[in-house]
Structure 1
């Protein structure tokens, strides 16, 4: 398999001075889904067409973390781009994507930190263009820094989401339940853009990923007949 996050991970691994070992586990992991082989969920990868695209701007080692959910987005959304973030320079390929006339880019970020004239809360159709959601894939502290120090994003509209649900993500700790993981944010964006089937599939895919990841961690067999697995079956 190969997609944007897979390739970015390979590039980042090639630059590692020493082998990267995921925290808390030294068990061999499936290269396709990043969980131990005993709990591989590659067969659960959904296939859903989307009109929207996603551009992941990933902080340093995010692509290396098995718990990273940007990988799930790239599994599902065919038009997913992934770039490593740098404070001092921008990848020319990233700038080319942002300038591509097929896309209407939106930086997804809380509106309370942005000048009001840049903030939008809906995805408005633009003739001849498809929405491209730029997600800052990082911790909240890192994402704020990335937003401030990325001048090439400063001219783009900022999509400010107002999710009503609390985060379901259980693989990393956060001090706030209203801080959604990257896949949850992407699902909300897809829903706003009218890619409803993809949004539903991504939510279910995240839940299946979580079940297999935690099952491997605690040596439990995931329930393949639970609500998330059954829902995801419709998109395989």
Structure 2
């Protein structure tokens, strides 16, 4: 604390600032690299104490995309004034999206005092630019006269429930640990807890803060890794190849082929196999795609030319991914001949791991067409699914698949895809 007073603001250079209350703090402000700063606000040395009804109102979720010029917009000005009035001993106030922001990626949630238009608490939630399923919580602020009444916890929980994202993260003073733990957050200690790009950004900010003899902790809130649903759209020839790897993600097939009954993937992965034998199957595949509960995402070897948000704001569903399963030549042929795939959102995996699959070296020329490293950065089907689970922070299941692939290659041909004799089920629900 600057002087030990509850609610004082502690500034960390130009990029990070925290408002620290007591252990059950009602006020937290975090700003990472400032995108937009209001003109320097006046220093507030005294604030009048205004009474507020004890029965606090429900939260309002205020998408800034509804704001438009001119600046005189009452709601926008009210939020700006609220932050200015409740940041004591500071020369700046939290950055907010520009008034003409046109995206719901950035939202300010706030509470009003019942029976009036006075804002008593506010928080900003922003989708991470590289991992939109993660939402950054910042600028959580409570009116000075109303702190220590549980408003911070109330606002934070309702804002997260309203926003409906999968994961939330924030940077906070260590004194706020119990506050965030009570809200379901855990301290993230390594890049294994969050995507690498987010952890690197946090580490950079933390280093700047440490130079000023301050400390920030990284907190993340998420449920268990979300399950994935995968559709293997297999070329008919793939069913007869002993070197195929798609069967390794099927618990029953793997147990039957190896005689083991070890850890399963069932709780984290649902797999359906659709077989494509030619254009005659296109109509049936199009119907099955339309019957899915959400739009599937096509896993793409090249850099995806269409952006895809893994979890959009307010949506709760198990993502469904389509993998074209066959040789590189067959996969290219399937994509070219199945028009219903052309408009699907595409996702390119960011895994930098080189393929360890060595059983099949056919069609090297086709692999090079998809790759900048002569095919070495392209993965077999099992490796693709493992990388997909890694992207979902389910690395334990991803490593399980890699272990199965290693066992398969070490014991080939005694253990092979021919042990997987289950029929492809084009009607499997995912």
Indicate the TM-score class for this superposition, using the shorter chain for normalisation: 0.5 to 0.7
* Structure 2 gap segments, 5+ residues each: 1-224, 252-264, 365-374, 417-430
- Alignment counterpart, residue 136 of structure 1, candidates 313, 324, 327: 324
Alpha-carbon distance in structure 1 between the residues aligned to 2:387 and 2:279: 31
Matched, 1:178 2:366: no
SS at match of 2:296: strand
Contact 2:301 2:378 in 1 (8 A): no
Matched, 1:201 2:404: no
Match of 1:105 in 2: 296
Question: Between Structure 1 and Structure 2, which shows a larger proportion of helix residues?
Answer: 1
Alpha-carbon distance in structure 2 between the residues aligned to 1:155 and 1:211: 40
Contact 2:237 2:326 in 1 (8 A): no
CA, structure 1 residues 119+143, in 2 after alignment: closer, same or farther (shift >3 Å)?
farther
**Residue-by-residue CA offset, 1:138-161 (whole Å, 9 max, x unaligned):** 111221121122111122101112
* Structure 1 gap segments, 5+ residues each: 1-48, 218-236
Contact 1:69 1:181 in 2 (8 A): yes
Q: TM-score, normalised by structure 2?
A: 0.35
Match of 1:88 in 2: 279
CA, structure 1 residues 205+97, in 2 after alignment: closer, same or farther (shift >3 Å)?
farther
- The alpha-carbon deviation at position 207 of structure 1 amounts to 1.1
Matched, 1:169 2:368: no
SS at match of 1:90: helix
Q: How many residues align?
A: 165
Alpha-carbon distance in structure 2 between the residues aligned to 1:80 and 1:199: 14
SS at match of 1:162: coil
Match of 2:410 in 1: 211
Alpha-carbon distance in structure 2 between the residues aligned to 1:103 and 1:195: 21
Alpha-carbon distance in structure 1 between the residues aligned to 2:415 and 2:334: 33
- The alpha-carbon deviation at position 90 of structure 1 amounts to 3.1
From the CA coordinates, give the structure whose radius of gyration is larger: 2
- The alpha-carbon deviation at position 50 of structure 1 amounts to 6.6
**Residue-by-residue CA offset, 1:29-82 (whole Å, 9 max, x unaligned):** xxxxxxxxxxxxxxxxxxxx9711110011122112121111112334552111
- Show the 5 A alignment for 1:24-39: none
Contact 2:299 2:346 in 1 (8 A): yes
Aligned-residue Cα RMSD (Å) equals 2.8
Alpha-carbon distance in structure 2 between the residues aligned to 1:187 and 1:216: 20
CA, structure 1 residues 197+213, in 2 after alignment: closer, same or farther (shift >3 Å)?
same
Alpha-carbon distance in structure 2 between the residues aligned to 1:92 and 1:195: 35
Match of 1:123 in 2: 310
Q: TM-score, normalised by structure 1?
A: 0.60
- The alpha-carbon deviation at position 101 of structure 1 amounts to 5.0
- The alpha-carbon deviation at position 179 of structure 1 amounts to 2.3
SS at match of 1:102: coil
SS at match of 1:83: strand
Alpha-carbon distance in structure 2 between the residues aligned to 1:96 and 1:190: 27
Which of 1 and 2 has higher RCO (CA within 8 Å, sep 6+)?
1
Match of 1:70 in 2: 246
Match of 2:337 in 1: 149
Contact 2:235 2:326 in 1 (8 A): yes
Matched, 1:51 2:227: yes
- The alpha-carbon deviation at position 181 of structure 1 amounts to 0.5
